[in-house]
Chain A
């Protein structure tokens, strides 16, 4: 049993941070505000846009919906933990899967989670996996092309 402000160890991108905060503090605030890890974006704050997506134990989660206590003992990965240049980021740029880019980190995290889960074999599975990520710029045309590349050429 526990209460109020406390120090909680959080494993983020391989580093354990001691976060002093209310256990109900949102993960997105810990990332963006406390740790200045601003690669994770914030947009709707109710889990409906996917801009704040992070991996928790390899699985995509909306960091606006997670409270600190829910993250204890779990492995959190943000967009910063992935390389700047790999097959997926290149495909995004080359296929026009981003414009303003604000939804992109969340989109990437959802895709990386899917690819890691081994369930990214069909286009349908990939689309389902991205159905919680809103992109307002591209109309998803470029994103569809990236998904085609993944399913046709096995990009990973």
Chain B
């Protein structure tokens, strides 16, 4: 186990994109401009639910400086997008299902003219009562948002006889938890540059988490072959899942092709908030029972997920939530039922944690309540129920042997923070109370059984003498390039200058699947494991023919290929550039993310584990909660790039802090009331603990050769329940709803009574 971030510790090399970012020299895709470009803009419905009768674009089209105004009639291919089910129309035809629905798009000489043209587009629509909650949408007689009705997806997992199991329960807790419509809040809003090429093809420069998926979706919309579209998709100014789905790409592509001119689009924050994805708000009812030994004998879960107007990945998110409602615990009998319901509340979709965050808050909340009720200390209660190394997974599926939950449990036992008194009140300011809470979670990597989860990569020796690694992955800040650089240096013992890292451009990289689900680091690691021996063999064979030195006596090193003797490096045989002249040295691989052999939809095979200890301070005058400390233990295999690993946990943690304490996209009648960052509040530097110790458990079970698991999500999944428990310890108030309502924590009686004991007579 290592503690990340110690000054003296190896920190890894500088991230390859670091200095350009620090100095503002890096051009993002929304910074690009092209001579002669037009400015694209999208007309959004601006009403949450209506029958669309007509879109009148004549006036807009007549405005000088306007080059195109497009509607549904101008979509040559499939008028829809969506990774799992393309049921979100590019342009609405007859039914407006949320405020951000697109009805038309404009290309004009200037952004101002484009905006003016949007204002001239008349939407003739008959408003319908908004279905502003799953409950409304499920009512008999509710308008159907889609042909199949208002239920996007249901899940059901049953294990053993739940009805009987209650009989063995000595303590039962039932509670309903609610989680907010969190916004991704990436700082770079959606946009890009769309270029019609002379050969009739199209180049798209727009951020996405999966370039090849965008290519497929755009081809479907345009009625083209995928090969006619090139997607340049990195660098990206943040995503967190939010740019995984298409956003402005269909409009940019259609406008560029229609006008034959480059088209630039960059959404305003307000448009981004109204049109973009959010985290699924979930209402989770859990009834959980302990037997007399403190074992979870029965666990019943109902998940109601507000998936908004369209499908995107609402189904898989629910699937993930279903699995993680059981999580790292072994239980007697289980019944989990989930429903993802269409509403008019924007669109909910993929977001860091992928449905795990919501149910982990509920599940850990259950354990804390049961601990209270049974008198078994909360951490002890968890231990009694944690999975063991060779146990099956949450859905009873076969999983890779996994001791992560027990490893992080042990580490918490050694924490000094955990040894502190669980509650205290300030003597000077009696309204300040402190509490400590802890929680634990296991989180799946990869997309799970039943979802295509391909991976692949390519290694090449370039003519100018670089070892090039090409992957269809994306850099949205997580440090993918830095991790890849570290792995390449480990494999080739060369210098950074000997390496070329190529990502984010479908014309240069092979398909590698998506950069989601904490999978990229793992996929690159596995791809290199598979490719490097074969690639080196090719290289050494070529060098053997040129130099006469046997291939078995060679190794790569700084600047080229060296002769080796007894494991030590001798003279340079050939530079990489010289070797590149000898032959085409290329190795490619494609494979599938490791998956459980059991055909249980959504079941994972690999997991990371985490535990979080936190100390909070509540101001009982206002109900404000300040997170003073957050200590993380993460078990996810080896650390590839320490400062990047640390950053993922710190960043995920603060995102969870926002989820717990302040963030919510407030909808009233399906109209967004928090359309910008003056009302949608995210944590500032004053809201966070300055130093969050992160311990990485690097040990994997014997024989585990799957390599380092990604840590992109796991830092964000377990803080909320730890804060909720700390709040309870401090104040005696249990919270079931996030973000925590300050109103329930205001307590004048408590602080005045405490004060009275001292001075107020």
Contacts and interface: CB of A to CB of B under 8 A. Distances in A.
B650 A101 contact: no
B677 interface: yes
B732 to A, nearest CB: 29
Interface stretch (B310-318, B499-507, B682-690): B682-690
A101 B269 contact: no
Contact of B685 (A48, A82, A140): A140
Contacts of A85: 19, 23
Contacts of B107: none
Interface string A138-152: 111111110000000
Nearest to B31: A38
B19 A89 contact: yes
Contacts of A78: 24
Contacts of A48: 676-678
A100 B478 CA distance: 7
A3 B35 CA distance: 31
B237 A142 contact: no
A120 interface: no
B187 A103 contact: yes
A80 B24 CA distance: 7
B647 A96 contact: yes
Contacts of A42: 266
B685 A100 contact: no
B747 interface: no
B296 to A, nearest CB: 33
Given A48-B677, A131-B685, A144-B685, A105 B187 contact: no
Given A41-B187, A85-B23, A141-B646, A46 B676 contact: yes
A100 B650 contact: no
A100 B17 CA distance: 9
B188 A100 contact: yes
B477 A100 contact: yes
B760 interface: no
Contact of A140 (B33, B677, B688): B688
Contacts of A41: 28, 187-188, 237
DSSP class of A's interface residues: helix, strand, loop or mixed?
loop
Contacts of A131: 684-686
A43 B678 CA distance: 12
A39 B24 contact: yes
Contacts of B184: 136
A39 B20 CA distance: 10
B483 interface: no
Nearest to B692: A141
B15 interface: yes
Interface string A99-138: 1111111001000000000000000000110111111111
A144 B691 contact: yes
B583 interface: no
A109 to B, nearest CB: 9
B73 interface: no
Interface in A3-46: 32-33, 36, 38-46
B13 to A, nearest CB: 10
Contact of A139 (B237, B655, B686): B655
Contacts of B303: none
B180 interface: no
Nearest to B237: A102
A127 B187 contact: no
B17 A142 contact: no
Interface residues of B, number: 61
B685 A108 contact: no
Given A101-B237, A131-B686, A142 B187 contact: no
Contacts of B31: 32, 38
A140 B654 contact: yes
A102 B28 contact: yes
B48 interface: no
A36 B33 contact: yes
A102 B238 contact: yes
A84 B646 contact: no
Contacts of B688: 139-141
Contact of B22 (A80, A101, A128): A101
Interface in B648-692: 650-655, 657, 676-678, 682-686, 688, 690-692
Nearest to A145: B5
Nearest to A128: B686
Interface string B170-194: 0000000000000011111100000
A149 B691 CA distance: 13
Contacts of A143: 685
Of the candidates B15, B21, B31, B239, the one having the most CB atoms from chain A within 10 angstroms of its own CB is: B21
B476 interface: yes
B646 A96 contact: yes
Contacts of B654: 138-141
Nearest to A103: B187
A49 to B, nearest CB: 5
B19 A94 contact: no
B237 A93 contact: no
A141 B690 CA distance: 6
A55 interface: no
B474 to A, nearest CB: 11
A127 B685 CA distance: 7
B228 interface: no
Given A45-B269, A100-B477, A131-B685, A84 B25 contact: yes
Contact of A104 (B21, B266, B678, B691): B21
A154 interface: no
Contact of A92 (B11, B22, B690, B692): B22
A76 interface: no
Interface in B456-479: 476-479
B649 to A, nearest CB: 8
A105 B31 CA distance: 13
Contacts of A95: 643
A40 B111 CA distance: 18
B25 A39 contact: yes
A43 B22 contact: no
Contacts of A138: 647, 650-651, 654
22 contacts: A36-B33, A38-B28, A41-B187, A43-B189, A43-B677, A49-B677, A78-B24, A84-B19, A92-B22, A93-B15, A96-B643, A96-B644, A97-B22, A98-B18, A98-B21, A102-B186, A105-B24, A131-B685, A133-B685, A136-B240, A141-B646, A141-B647
Given A90-B22, A134-B684, A139-B654, 9 more contacts: A32-B31, A41-B188, A43-B187, A80-B25, A102-B187, A108-B23, A141-B691, A143-B685, A144-B685
Which 7 pairs, one residue from A and one from B, show the smallest C-beta to C-beta distance?
A100-B477, A101-B21, A139-B654, A102-B237, A79-B24, A39-B24, A93-B18
